[in-house]
Structure 1
């Protein structure tokens, strides 16, 4: 069964092009399309969606505001942000609010498809050109608090998993690296989130970087 994707892009020509690229992969299906954040929220009430691929600059409700509202109403929803602007400010805002990745539209189709699959599998994708600019913001401006006493409560196995999350690894990759089942990895991640009082995988990745685990 194919993964169900909501495609959010205000320019119909670009949206059609992205749809053609994405649906070349038989495991991916565009089940709904939207031209802004308002339509995206409406679509989520009507369709089961595994992932949102969303533009960031749109009239009406843009991708930054849409990410915030979508994650508030659907906390586990995976969102991959696309933009023509190689700008770390957009990346920081969307990742801070819970997006799972950030790619520019000029990326090769293979990179887009790889990014989609990585996010679907629980990974985090950051455009190479943005990552170097973004890390100082994640390190110094993130609202997450460094709580070393919580970190000390993690087991060695949980620390290993946290390190790999900080490196952007998916659950499948973590399982293969540590010779664990994917179910066991998921259980550990749930435990880590509880111990560190964090909301989601993106916050775990930021936490790992800020605390020097990566």
Structure 2
């Protein structure tokens, strides 16, 4: 059972999200919150696996609430609910370590799939915003010197990292490199392990921060 806290300042939105999630046999909504301070309180009491986080909330916003949640010991996964006009917030959310983004206009089945994805320890960025978020992030960072761990990557693993940073899915990477999906999964896992990264979102951050890819780059 995946335990979820729903955070949004609009009561009708919270009610709608809760209704959709509670209809699933493997998801339990263990709390709701209308602002960032309430999110922190509810998460501390309910110990959720996933927090579905709105960004624009009164008092303490969802971005700062995410930072505080993720700075704690054994934090929940944070899945950000976003709109197209929150590009700057998404950049900061990437840096904070959230597990991904989902558009508020996404259909219910996509929301449910996203909850399951991040609960399983994977990262997710809605395909509709992936390229915008990645390029916006790239424009805002200055390349850092490459860390020693980068030298441990093989040429193929470095290629996979670059494709990940450009928003490619495993299937798209497999097609571009003419290899099987299982091979791509193995490469991705090795890249994350060698660089000490938690998930694909951190891989995107790493690649832009260290100049492996630059905005406008394409493979």
Q: TM-score, normalised by structure 1?
A: 0.76
SS in structure 1 of the partner of residue 32 of structure 2: strand
SS in structure 1 of the partner of residue 53 of structure 2: strand
SS in structure 2 of the partner of residue 152 of structure 1: helix
Deviation at 1:46, TM superposition (A): 1.4
Deviation at 1:44, TM superposition (A): 2.1
Aligned to 1:94: 93
Aligned to 2:216: none
- CA distance in 1 between partners of 2:115 and 2:183 (Å): 24
Aligned to 1:121: 120
- CA distance in 1 between partners of 2:199 and 2:184 (Å): 23
Deviation at 1:50, TM superposition (A): 0.9
- CA distance in 1 between partners of 2:169 and 2:143 (Å): 18
SS in structure 2 of the partner of residue 122 of structure 1: coil
CA gap 1:87/1:127 in 2 versus in 1, 3 angstroms = farther
What is the root-mean-square deviation of aligned Cα atoms in Å? Answer: 3.4
Aligned to 1:44: 43
- CA distance in 2 between partners of 1:121 and 1:41 (Å): 22
SS in structure 2 of the partner of residue 73 of structure 1: coil
* Number of residue pairs matched by the alignment: 204
Deviation at 1:69, TM superposition (A): 1.1
Deviation at 1:34, TM superposition (A): 1.2
Segments of structure 2 that go 5 or more residues without pairing to the other structure are: 171-180, 214-218
- CA distance in 2 between partners of 1:56 and 1:100 (Å): 14
Q: Which moved more, 1:81-90 or 1:11-20?
A: 81-90
Does the aligned pair in 2 maintain the 1:9–1:54 contact within 8 Å? yes
- CA distance in 2 between partners of 1:123 and 1:4 (Å): 16
SS in structure 1 of the partner of residue 3 of structure 2: strand
CA gap 1:50/1:165 in 2 versus in 1, 3 angstroms = farther
Q: TM-score, normalised by structure 2?
A: 0.75
